[in-house]
Amino acid sequence: MIDPRLDGCAVKRIAFTEGQISERVRQLGDDVTAAYPEGDLLVLGLLKGSFIFVSDLVRQVRRSLQVDFLVVSSYGAEKVSSGNVRLVYDPQAELRGRHILLVEDIIDSGRTLGRVIEVLGEREPASIEVCALLDKHHATHLTHPPRFVGFTAPNEFLVGYGLDHAENFRHLPYIASLE
Ligand code: IMP
Ligand code: MG
């Protein structure tokens, strides 16, 4: 397919269209709204991959909340997880006593999330749950399965809607797999 945003790179197929994503994000917003009847809710997006998902998701949640981000470094330009996870930016917000909703673009091995939950859990939040847009369902390292999942991801390398390959393609409004 020809899309000027791809700069000549071939896309194998579109895995999730813009319409499918927005419909599912709307439902996830309803689920999150229903899941937190009371208490202070802090939505924590894992940068950079979740930046579009967080911005769409929070606009579908009909309750008070705050938004912050954290930066974790894992993959670099590789297509496989190194398992080498670092907290590069730590959220400044107080976590104690608040409900934390961690928002992740895609769960692959689950190493990234496992490590982040470990670190944040020490700050005594009221709860920690995970909302992932995509789950590859081979997360064997996950002690804390995601409470909210948008889609089951095909076993392919995906780009778009925040997901990158070597920092490219994050701005695609759909999710595609690369050749
Ligand atoms: P995990 O630690 O193996 O679960 O890896 C999760 C992180 O790897 C995600 O936050 C993404 O940044 C990246 N990742 C995993 N699979 C893909 C993919 O198919 N496309 C783009 N990035 C991916
Ligand atoms: Mg990435």
In whole angstroms, what is the distance from residue 174 CA to residue 94 CA? Answer: 34
User: Which pLDDT score is estimated for 57?
Assistant: 98
- The parts of the chain modelled with pLDDT lower than 50 are 77-80, 82
With a 6 Å cutoff on the Cβ, whether 135 touches ligand 1 is no
- Token output for 25: 């994000």
In whole angstroms, what is the distance from residue 111 CA to residue 82 CA? Answer: 9
The distance from CA 66 to its chain's CA centroid, rounded to whole angstroms, is 17
Nearest partner of 46 among 108, 123, 109, 101, judged by Cα: 101
With a 6 Å cutoff on the Cβ, whether 111 touches ligand 1 is yes
Q: What is the CA(78)–ligand 2 centre distance, in A?
A: 9
pLDDT tens figures, 83-108:
556 678 888 789 999 999 999 999 99
User: Which pLDDT score is estimated for 89?
Assistant: 82
Does the annotation mark 56 as catalytic?
no
For residues 68 and 91, the answer to whether their CB atoms sit within 8 Å is: yes
User: Which pLDDT score is estimated for 85?
Assistant: 65
- Please report, as a single letter, which amino acid is at residue 165: H
What is the overall mean pLDDT for the chain? Answer: 90
In whole angstroms, what is the distance from residue 53 CA to residue 103 CA? Answer: 8
User: Which pLDDT score is estimated for 87?
Assistant: 76
Q: Which residue has 């999330």 as its token pair?
A: 113
User: Which pLDDT score is estimated for 84?
Assistant: 57
- Token output for 37: 């009847």
| Active-site annotation holder among 56, 105, 108, 135 | 108
With a 6 Å cutoff on the Cβ, whether 115 touches ligand 1 is no
User: Which pLDDT score is estimated for 143?
Assistant: 80
User: Which pLDDT score is estimated for 93?
Assistant: 83
From atom 5 of ligand 1, which residue's Cα is the shortest distance away? 108
Nearest partner of 93 among 32, 49, 42, 36, judged by Cα: 42
The best mutation among 108, 117, 137, 149 to test binding of ligand 1, ranked by most ligand atoms within 8 Å of the C-beta, falls on 108
User: Which pLDDT score is estimated for 76?
Assistant: 53
Nearest partner of 31 among 132, 124, 143, judged by Cα: 132
| Secondary structure (3-state) at 130 | strand
User: Which pLDDT score is estimated for 154?
Assistant: 95
pTM of the model: 0.91
